[in-house]
Structure 1
């Protein structure tokens, strides 16, 4: 009789243990399977079009609601390369890093020293079944220096030379914006006088070089050289009452042939009008 009671006790304990184990598995299953309407989703109000600057750290942000026990990853579309999982970085490229503060909804991919080749689509993914993702478009640009008016500028003698240089997409406004003439730094205190510089710094930095009462000695190549961007050149031609094309290019071959043809036609017309 005692053995029978012990057997019942063991069987009861096994049954209760198995029931508790099954109940736990079922609870885990319910936890893994999100309730309709309450699963994780992306906050699409976060900016998904990012413009970064070459060499300046850029941050790609992803905000996830109701994440639960899921994980967030960043994937680069170009080569389907897994960059981060949760707070861990999975790429050997040390420029990439996962940033996340506990108990927050922000999951950030930080890219140090970005290059233009890093432009493209990066996807923030949630480890649901199947995974769901939110694309972020990154465009990496480099500073552009431009002198308005093209590569050649024609100025009448005695007029004011007005050279305007723009710098776009610089990491910050250039600390200095220098000008040179034929590879020599412009001296604003030179005896020549009449030379001034006006600079306005901002997202687009503008510097304007003004040279009054232009003379032939002012002809040549002017260079705008920002301290944190590439330089730009313009060739200035000082005109003394001559047309630029005639002054610098002369008559082209086609123009000469046209003029010659006109003279030949006029010659034959003259002969027909005066046969004797």
Structure 2
């Protein structure tokens, strides 16, 4: 029995020695590294962020880190339609926006999505080809740029006061290069003879553009629109008050209407009190 073990061991050494000579030491080492460490299997690095937020139109990367992969392969699956996107470094989907990215001899397996849309939001699985397969889920949310004017859709300003309109742009692929303000579809001219009009813009992940119009008059009422160069527009209607109450502007003769309702209610109460018993 011992003789048989020794012979087998000698045969294995001679085989390995021959293989090393035939394929070269480097290739032989790579060959051995393809096999998992005895007693262990491939597993995920769970420190990778599993909640990713991307922007419409801006390339997004989903990262997956696999330890001790051995001779297994890594695939990316989209759960919305159970669609196999990539296997190893190969892309299997006809949608050319998706691409497998992997640098040899690294543990990083990345899914690149170019020009993402809101419909690309959902669950993606990084899957290892074990038996049975094991996977790690990543949750992708694609958001589109949002433009908002604080206080919209309507603002009421007292005559002679300062109109202060603040436009906020967020989730844009980059800070908008330009933001144009207009009044009643006419671009506001900051050098107009009227004067007293200024603009303060602060760019960043959230961009703010503040329009200031001093000594508001009736000519300053109307629809104001904020138009970023890379996001949707937002509008607010400004009313200049000259002693009126905003409620009266909304409902016409609002106070008269409320008075009429009160009179009607009072009349009904009196009729119920004075009605003779049956």
- Report if TM-score (shorter chain) is over 0.5: yes
Counterpart Cα distance in 2 of 1:201 and 1:243: 37
Q: Which residue of 2 aligns with 1:200?
A: 202
Q: Quote how far apart the aligned CAs of 1:259 are.
A: 3.7
Q: Which residue of 2 aligns with 1:218?
A: 220
User: Equivalent residue of 2:240, what SS?
Assistant: strand
Q: Quote how far apart the aligned CAs of 1:32 are.
A: 6.6
Q: Which residue of 1 aligns with 2:123?
A: 121
Q: Which residue of 2 aligns with 1:9?
A: none
Q: Is the 8 A contact 2:36 2:70 kept in 1?
A: no
Query: Is 1:35 aligned to 2:38, yes or no?
Result: yes
Q: Which residue of 1 aligns with 2:162?
A: 160
Unaligned runs of 5+ in 2: 1-7, 17-30, 272-278
User: Equivalent residue of 2:261, what SS?
Assistant: helix
Q: Quote how far apart the aligned CAs of 1:103 are.
A: 0.6
Q: Which residue of 2 aligns with 1:71?
A: 73
Count of residue correspondences: 244
User: Equivalent residue of 2:247, what SS?
Assistant: helix
Q: Which residue of 1 aligns with 2:145?
A: 143
TM normalised by structure 1 equals 0.82
Q: Quote how far apart the aligned CAs of 1:189 are.
A: 0.5
Q: Which residue of 2 aligns with 1:178?
A: 180
Q: Of residues 245, 255, 261 in structure 1, which corresponds to 2:264?
A: 261
Q: Which structure's CA Rg is the greater one? A: 1
Q: Quote how far apart the aligned CAs of 1:267 are.
A: 9.6
Counterpart Cα distance in 2 of 1:33 and 1:68: 4
**Would the alpha carbon gap of residues 43 and 265 (structure 1) be closer, same or farther in structure 2, given more than 3 Å must change?**
closer
User: Equivalent residue of 1:208, what SS?
Assistant: strand
Unaligned runs of 5+ in 1: 1-15, 269-276
Q: Which residue of 1 aligns with 2:132?
A: 130
Q: Is the 8 A contact 2:36 2:42 kept in 1?
A: no
Q: Quote how far apart the aligned CAs of 1:35 are.
A: 2.9
**Would the alpha carbon gap of residues 194 and 39 (structure 1) be closer, same or farther in structure 2, given more than 3 Å must change?**
same
Q: Of residues 55, 58, 63 in structure 2, which corresponds to 1:56?
A: 58
- The within-5 A match list for 1:85-96 is 85-96=87-98
